[in-house]
Amino acid sequence: ALSCPAHSHYELCGSPCQPTCHSPSVPTQCATSPCSEGCFCDTGYVLSGSDCVPHSECGCEYLGHYYQKDTEFYPSCRERCRCSANGTVTCQEAFCGAHEECRVEDGVLGCHPTGYGRLVVSGDPHYVTFDGRTFNIPGSCTYILARVCETAQRLVNFTVLVEHEAGSHGDPVLMKRVVVSIHGYRVTMERGQRWEVDLERYTLPLVTEDKNLRIGQEGNNIILHTAAGVRILYNTDTFLLITVPNIYRGRLCGLGGNYDGDPSNDFRLPSGALAGTTQEFVTSWKVPEKDRACSDGCNDSTCSKCDVSNKAMYSKNTSCGIIHDAEGPFRECHPRVSPVEYFIHCVHDICAANGDRTALCHALQAYTAACQAAGATVRAWRTKELC
């Protein structure tokens, strides 16, 4: 069944000319037009953009364009305006903030980020911070992955938690659950499950009523877009990519680091002091849990190591070597997403899984997702023998 937005209903054969804020009365010639199927505004409501609102909630006409009520817009790079009640538009001189520039993005002129930071979690959890520092977490606890630690005007607060799950019989640790809190919502993603928003399960695609969250699916990737510009790509085969706009630069903390461009100071404790070891850093961002026992796993010195002969075997182009093969299916991605870390993580995971090809498939899927998120072309790499 077709689900209609608030204040609208489904009709099999409705009028193709719906009353809008711009044209509240339906043209007389519309009566002879063929009918159409879809969602139509309830009596007493008119279309404002794609929403049905009472006429008193209509927006503003300004320089030939229509804007919804309570929205900000930029008629030019020097002027920011707001559409208020009764169609009133108020404008003031505007300047973009640090790490922003005025340009058209997604058809909208305004102040947009000059760039984005990327945080990656993949495989037997390997972490690449916003500033590019790498480390592994063998523990099975829940951790604060990223959150805003230095607030600022116009900066939307958010928190991302990640929960690990210990494998049985020495299998690799995997990401089990990711929880994102932003715009007043709590979004839960779990391996093998549908997404939850505020504990309600939904099928995708989903747009919240206030338009602050948009969740969709592309292949194996489920993608959360937020009005704040924070974007989460979750591949249910153990890959997570968090993209944040430059306005968050130097204002974050957690396992993803502070995003200030300097990888050497990423391992900060919640107190702000630098951690002495990776283990101290990771443990400091652990979330206390009452109903679940968890393990910090092995220390780096006692974790399983790959012997030389296995490392050579898994580095071949028929295995992990396909990731950095200059003539391979990922060659066009290399300039955009460095294959080095993904190759190292791939070899580590296959070793930990004693040669299990599933670990190889997960590693290749992780690099594929990272490449596609960066807009790079990936050639076909799956065969009857491989994944």
200 and 244 belong to one structural domain: yes
202 and 247 belong to one structural domain: yes
Inside any domain, residue 100: no
pLDDT average, residue stretch 179-193: 87
Last residue of a domain, one of 29, 55, 81: 55
Contact at 8 Å (CB) between 149 and 330? no
Inside any domain, residue 99: no
Q: Which long-range contacts (CB under 8 A, 24 or more apart) does 299-302 make?
A: 300/136
Give the CATH number for residue 47: 2.10.25.10
216 and 141 belong to one structural domain: yes
236 and 345 belong to one structural domain: no
Structural domains of the chain, count: 3
Contact at 8 Å (CB) between 180 and 225? no
280 and 312 belong to one structural domain: no
End-to-end CA distance of the chain: 36
Measure the CA–CA gap between 224 and 120, rounded to whole angstroms: 15
pLDDT in tens, 354-372: 888 888 988 898 888 888 8
Inside any domain, residue 297: no
Report percent pLDDT > 90 for the chain. Answer: 31
pLDDT band, very low/low/confident/very high, at 192 (cuts 50, 70, 90): low
pLDDT in tens, 78-102: 888 999 988 899 999 877 777 777 8
pLDDT band, very low/low/confident/very high, at 61 (cuts 50, 70, 90): confident
pLDDT in tens, 268-288: 999 999 998 888 999 999 998
39 and 142 belong to one structural domain: no
Inside any domain, residue 166: yes
Inside any domain, residue 294: no
pLDDT over 50 (residue 299): no
123 and 45 belong to one structural domain: no
Residue 11, beta-bridge partner list = 38
Residue 325, domain extent: 308-373
Helix (H) or strand (E) holding 217: strand 213-218
Measure the CA–CA gap between 140 and 292, rounded to whole angstroms: 10
120 and 254 belong to one structural domain: yes
137 and 258 belong to one structural domain: yes
Cβ–Cβ contacts within 10 Å for residue 310, how many?
15
pLDDT average, residue stretch 214-219: 82
Q: Which residue has the higher pLDDT, 287 or 197?
A: 287
Inside any domain, residue 85: no
333 and 279 belong to one structural domain: no
Measure the CA–CA gap between 241 and 373, rounded to whole angstroms: 9
pLDDT in tens, 309-348: 888 889 998 899 999 999 999 999 998 888 988 898 898 8
181 and 317 belong to one structural domain: no
